[in-house]
Amino acid sequence: MVNTKPNLTPPSRKAKIAPASLSRLTVAAQPRIAMTPRGRLHAGPTTLVCAIGAASISRQKREGDRATPAGHFRLIEGFFKPGIGRRPAMLLPLRPIDKTLGWCEDPASPSYNRLIRLPSRAGHESMWRDDGLYDVVIVLDYNMRPRRKYRGSAIFLHCARPDFAPTAGCVALRAADLRKLLPRLGREVVLVVR
């Protein structure tokens, strides 16, 4: 029997197909331009400019060396700053940032390379920033399990400065580019830095 029912769904009302999730992001250093290290992030067929650490990419990352660590890193969770627009769409767990959140950078602390509550006596970085860098931030599993003292902390994927100034060791994308990638980023995604 032939189905003679007409298709009553107008073309403009057809369901949109969500972009497929990614399984891998790759970051590679570009040749230095005017002594400023930059990288390229490859996400499927898309290539984006990114900021990397001021000391470029290192296989021997140390706390405070300003290098982006080389390796394969899973995406753990995301944070966003409320009040900067719509809540980002994302497959990863996503939490709002408030002024009581910090990230411990003190190798002598038992909370080294962990999210902490502020105030804290341990050396730390505030997750609440007024410069827009952490408006959206994704935690990478660098130096998490096991944690090694002095091997580096607070390695994130976050928003870049407008001039793509080097980071202290993170990978940073233009905010608009990061927001476009977010719906395709889940826990199965691996960020490869080489």
Q: What is the pLDDT of residues 39-64, one digit of tens each?
A: 999 999 999 999 999 999 999 999 99
Q: What is the pLDDT of residue 5?
A: 40
Average pLDDT, the chain: 89
Domains of the chain: 21-193 (2.40.440.10)
pLDDT in tens, 68-96: 999 999 999 999 999 887 888 888 999 99
Q: What is the pLDDT of residue 133?
A: 97
Q: Tell me how far apart the alpha carbons of residues 185 and 22 are, in angstroms, rounded to a whole number.
A: 6
pLDDT tier, 33 (very low <50, low <70, confident <90, very high otherwise): low
Q: Tell me how far apart the alpha carbons of residues 160 and 144 are, in angstroms, rounded to a whole number.
A: 24
pLDDT in tens, 1-12: 444 443 333 333
pLDDT in tens, 142-169: 999 999 999 999 999 999 999 999 999 9
Q: What is the pLDDT of residue 9?
A: 35
Three-state SS at 95: strand
Q: What is the pLDDT of residue 50?
A: 97
